Amino acid sequence: MVTKGSLFKQGNNWYYRYMYNGVRICKKGTTDKAETRSLMLQSIAETERSGKVFIPTDMTVSNLLDIWYDECVKDVLRHGTRCDYLNAINNHIKPILGDKKLKDVTIDDLQQYLDGKQKKYAPSTLKAHLVVLNGAFRYAVYPKKYIKDNPMLYVQRKKINRNLDTFLDFEDDSKIKIIDSDTFQKILSVNTEPMYYMALLISYHTGARAGEVCGLSWEDIDFTNMTIRINKSMFYNTELKRWELGKTKGGKPRTVDFGKTLLDILKREKKRQLESKMYYGEFYKNTYYDVEEIDGLKHIKLIDDTDKKESSTPIDFVCKKDGGELFTNQTVKYLVKKTKKALDIEFNFHMLRHTHATILIENGAIMKDVQERLGHTDIRITMNTYSHVTPKMKKQTVDIFERALY
């Protein structure tokens, strides 16, 4: 039962208080006495209706993020998504907001954080920050009841005005970067080692992602029908500290056709690897995988001869180091680093995928076919990503119009 409330003033602000079942409730109102009285009556009515007294927790944002990640993310989402969220939490949100108590976090705090990050990062990167903050604060309200209201409900993602940059002809960093034919040949020329050479050519000819290239095995190659089955991706599990195989980013396997150029290269590499295996003999490092279930999730762990069991399954990767060692995403990073240093150019491995898609679209490929080839879950992703118009496409557009006139 609620006893009659009362108002009192401290400094410029009015406060209200009342008793409920022996618990004293005291809350800050506004600078206006009438408004504070209204707030008190609302609070009393809500307490009588619900029969509960809400007492804000002293928990910090950092504590909340840890709880939300452990209970809502850790054993639920795929590894790549978990890494994105952990990066946002540990390297961005915690350093700025982590020490704040949940009950003291304001809409302005969150809006300022988001505005600051929006000026520095692309929308795709910022998406992880938004998901984390929305998810964590929603979880804090219900079912945890650490706070009463979710301040993220009122935070807005503002549009950045880029008119000034356009007027001054600044480069738009969000624009898709592609590689011309001459530059690609130069990249190949400084990466003649088979493992680098193969990885570059496979991605260039198929649009496969780095992890998909690393996870490609010889049983995925159909030499007769000239197709590649892309059904897995290699990644480093930062929690278990080991290399694993998982689903592709889109989650669905796809079959990609390839031409005679790549066919001849794959045949030569297959033969070279067989000869290499004979040369190294007992010192050749074979790769196997074990399937484990941890906390209800299936993990495909990659191991070598030293850790193999009777139940281990051999797997023969297309890209591998001389002597059979794993060719991983870490190897790809080194490839990129040494290429940039040798040629003094802007380069990342994903540019090969963008280049592949752009070449197809420039030369009249149907967008639906490009989507399936890249493994995008929705054709809108393909259209939004590759909506940029290259000089060649502009010329083709004019030519189409000219032919229609005459």
Rg from Cα positions in the chain: 29
Mean pLDDT value of segment 381-401: 73
Say yes or no: 217 and 247 in one domain: yes
Mean pLDDT value of segment 196-212: 97
Total number of domains in the chain: 3
* Secondary structure E strands in 317-389: none
| pLDDT of amino acid 165 | 40
CATH number at residue 126: 1.10.150.130
Say yes or no: 202 and 326 in one domain: yes
User: Which tens digits make up the pLDDT trace of 167-201?
Assistant: 333 334 346 789 999 999 999 999 999 999 999 99
Query: What is the rounded distance in angstroms from the CA atom of residue 308 to the CA atom of residue 348?
Result: 34
Say yes or no: 245 and 285 in one domain: yes
Say yes or no: 328 and 189 in one domain: yes
Range(s) of the domain holding residue 24: 6-50
User: Which tens digits make up the pLDDT trace of 288-345?
Assistant: 999 998 877 889 999 999 999 999 999 999 999 989 999 999 999 999 999 999 999 9
Decide if 170 is inside a domain. no
Mean pLDDT value of segment 255-271: 96
Query: What is the rounded distance in angstroms from the CA atom of residue 342 to the CA atom of residue 318?
Result: 26
Sheet holding 23-28, edge to edge: 6-10, 13-20, 23-28
Say yes or no: 200 and 274 in one domain: yes
| pLDDT of amino acid 325 | 94
Say yes or no: 240 and 283 in one domain: yes
Decide if 96 is inside a domain. yes
Picking from 165, 199, 216, the residue at the C-terminal end of a domain is: 165
Quick check: 238 pLDDT over 90? no
pTM: 0.66
Picking from 105, 136, 165, the residue at the C-terminal end of a domain is: 165
Decide if 270 is inside a domain. yes
| pLDDT of amino acid 63 | 92
Decide if 314 is inside a domain. yes
Q: Hey, what's the torsion of the CAs at 171, 172, 177, 182, to 10 degrees?
A: -20
Say yes or no: 136 and 198 in one domain: no
Decide if 304 is inside a domain. yes
Decide if 175 is inside a domain. no
Say yes or no: 77 and 194 in one domain: no
Picking from 313, 332, 350, the residue at the C-terminal end of a domain is: 350
Say yes or no: 42 and 66 in one domain: no
Query: What is the rounded distance in angstroms from the CA atom of residue 211 to the CA atom of residue 249?
Result: 9
Decide if 394 is inside a domain. no
- pLDDT band at 166, cuts 50/70/90? very low
Decide if 196 is inside a domain. yes
- pLDDT band at 401, cuts 50/70/90? low
